[in-house]
Structure 1
Amino acid sequence: MLLQHGWTVQELWWQVPDDFSQVTVYNRIAWVERQVAQAIDAEAGACRLLIGKSLGSLACTIAADRNIAAAWLTPCPEHRPSGPCSPGAQAPTPLIGGSGDKLWDSRIAESLHHDVLEVPSADHSLELADDAAGSVDVLRHVVSRMDRFIGSLSR
């Protein structure tokens, strides 16, 4: 989708340490922030957008501090003392999650005054249990929302 809108894309693939589940929340956040900051810095000022899912949403403070637009899919609010996104983010920041995701907290998401898409009954994978066709419809809806968001940004 980003390529269709003419964006250059740098993908970040996590090499999560084996003991990551034993690491404190603050150290997990620091680890993600280091990974994302290195990727942004490598772009030498060309980074205009961050998109992250789940663990990637822990980079929300970096996006807010650098005034970079961001989209967070299934953000992890319980891993972030301030919620799934920095409340001080000025750049556009949609939050997308499912009401069936035990990590999603719609009250926190709504309190941040960002564009929120809560998919009824969707889990952390943004899928509907035992409903393949419904899950495809969810994906179509999420992709459409992301397409509009990306189209609204200037490269």
Structure 2
Amino acid sequence: MAGFEPPAGAAWQRLIPPDREELVCHNDVAPWNVVRAERGWVLIDWDCAAPASAVWDLAYAAQTTADLGVGRSVAESAARLRAFTDGYGLDDRQRAELPAALGRRTRAMHEFLSANAGTQPWSRIWAEDGPYWFATAEYLDEHVNAWRSALG
């Protein structure tokens, strides 16, 4: 999407505000939005595609896809984060920004769910997963130096 220029006046469905706008991002890259098709793996659920930064999008993708959270040791999470980012091919700037973005992006999800807890489907997700998002954001913020070392 780096070369895509959205038309003037394009309307976006933004659930979570981005950190900054660099390019059009999916904004919901997670295992539950990937399916296997004849042609290979396909990313679905593009309803929240909108301008954001690649790092903002990658922070959510890394947290969900590499399953970075309190149920996993910091060393294992760091190794998973490194494998994810090596597979993606982050540049030096993105590697420097991603560790701090992990907790911020996860906390943004928690805040979104909390603010929308009275509306479906968010109320169900808040009830089932609200504590998960908070604990995961805390975990990611607490170990930002481990993520920096892993991405060294």
* Fold shared per TM-score above 0.5: no
Structure with larger RCO (C-alpha < 8 A, sep 6+) = 2
TM-score (norm 1): 0.28
More helix by share: 2
TM-score (norm 2): 0.28
